[in-house]
Amino acid sequence: MARMHSGKRGRHGSKKPSKLVKPSWLRYNTKEVEQLILKLSKAGKPSSQIGIVLRDVYGIPSVRVVTNKKINAILEENEIKPKIPEDLVAVIRKGIQVMKHLEANKKDMTAKRGLQLTESKIRRLAKYYKNVGKLPKDWQYNRESIKLLIS
């Protein structure tokens, strides 16, 4: 699929295993994996980093294969889910970095365009999450107040 704001196609990423069966060499059961997820979440890790830590440190290739649930579903069951979705927070952080850069470099028009693109992406994501119900309907993106919310 092509990128939204460029003429490039993007790179292919790694692929998930085609077999969705629990590996025979895996020594963790469902309860242990869920406890690891809760422990990592309480340590302040977002769901994407939890998956990476489980893969790299604990040797769990896929939480979904072991528990039949996704990481976010496990966090929702235990009422630890974040108020703002993780991908929206990442895009907002990127926008904050570009704003800081623009404060120091006022004539950088390329960065100004990048900020416009980033903010439009934030608005599109917010609109989607409001329709889905993951954000409250009265949530608004505001440059000044968002710095306090995220940082």
pLDDT at 1: 45
Residue 118, token pair as written in the block: 């980033």
pLDDT at 148: 74
Cα(87)–Cα(90) distance, rounded to whole angstroms?
5
Residue 61, token pair as written in the block: 């290739």
Segment 62-113, tens digit of pLDDT: 899 999 999 999 999 999 988 889 999 999 999 999 999 999 999 999 999 9
Cα(68)–Cα(56) distance, rounded to whole angstroms?
20
Report percent pLDDT > 70 for the chain. Answer: 93
Instruction: Indicate left, alpha or beta for 26 from its phi (over 0: left) and psi (-120 to 50: alpha).
Output: beta
| Superfamily name with CATH number, domain 86-150 | S15/NS1, RNA-binding (1.10.287.10)
Under a CB-based contact definition with an 8 Å cutoff, are residues 33 and 54 in contact?
yes
pLDDT at 117: 94
Segment 126-139, tens digit of pLDDT: 999 999 999 999 99
pLDDT (mean) for 20-24: 84
Domain range summary for the chain, segments of one domain joined by + = 30-77, 86-150
